[in-house]
A = this chain, B = another copy of it.
Amino acid sequence: MKITNIDVTLRDGGYRNNFNFSLDYAKSHARLSAEAGFDWVEIAYRNGSFSQTPNLGLTGRGDNDFIQAMSREIGAERVALILHPKNISAPDLPEMYAAGARLVRIILPPHNYESGLAFIRQAREIGFTVGTNFARITQWPARRIAEVASAATDAGAEVVYLADSNGSMSPSQAISMTTLIQSLTGQPIGLHTHNNLGLALANTIAGVDAGATWVDSSLQGMGKGPGNLIAEQWLAYLERTNLAAAQKLNLGALLELADQLLAAVPQSQPSLPLPDLVLGHYDLSVEHRKAILGRHSEAIATARSLSGAK
């Protein structure tokens, strides 16, 4: 089955360097990413992530001139952005399209998502390929996911993304959530997995076996906390198991890109931060990281108290 791959390194990886990628690096990254076989390169958030931070870099703002530069580099048909409805207003989507973006993913919250639906409608009218993303999916009751996914589909969302932001999903949950939302909406399902528990690849394989057809990954897994599904591992798996995908992948270019990222962006170095494993294990969002941040002994104390409290 055809898998649509999105490279989220520049966007989700931005949590590691406050989105401060240089324009030259971003252009070179996107070029190699396209050569490696990614269908879309998610170049940025539009106007910031969920919680606004100061000195936000290039890929945290998604300004028009950045979109233009990236679109000239790899062509509009590969340029994607993601956004929180609360961060944009009516002129944003037309400007993004005019600047040369063709995929937009609109993140819907579990409640008060109506403004997001309006932007989904607007994006479809403009001509975008439109996706909707649900964050921290493990914390949503199934009926919430069902309601919001149905509303988003009715509004025009063409792909429904399940994002395991806490990295606490299990393969069996990936299967059941994919099956639930796909049966309900009849739409393509996307998976965005994190590695707090090292399950990003296991969850993606399970979800794709259950019918998911869109997948986010990032080079070296560079992303929030312990990071995203590792692109080098995921595309290698696809190349070995999925003929449709294999035909368009270039693992040489992928390794070259990984090498370039490691050399250019120190924050891309893989690690297994123990506090994030605790977050994933107890399905806690990143806001709780402060409680177990810093010296591992604190994480251990927290883990022990949490274990004891069970």
Contacts and interface: CB of A to CB of B under 8 A. Distances in A.
Interface in A179-202: 197-199, 201-202
Contact of A237 (B199, B221, B299): B199
A108 to B, nearest CB: 28
State how many copies of this chain the complex holds.
Answer: 2
Given A255-B299, A303-B251, A304-B252, A170 B271 contact: no
Nearest to A233: B198
B232 A277 contact: yes
A281 B205 CA distance: 16
Contacts of A299: 255
Contact of A307 (B233, B251, B297): B251
A202 B241 CA distance: 15
Contact of A170 (B230, B232, B237, B307): B237
A12 B2 CA distance: 39
A98 interface: no
Contact of A202 (B202, B271, B300): B202
Contacts of A255: 274, 277-278, 296, 299-300, 303
A57 interface: no
A106 to B, nearest CB: 30
Centre residue among A202, A230, A251 by max chain B CB count within 10 A: A202
A187 to B, nearest CB: 26
A267 interface: no
Given A255-B277, A300-B252, A230 B270 contact: no
23 contacts: A170-B237, A171-B202, A171-B205, A197-B236, A199-B201, A201-B202, A202-B202, A232-B274, A239-B281, A251-B281, A251-B307, A252-B301, A252-B304, A252-B307, A255-B274, A255-B299, A255-B303, A256-B296, A256-B300, A258-B296, A259-B274, A259-B296, A270-B270
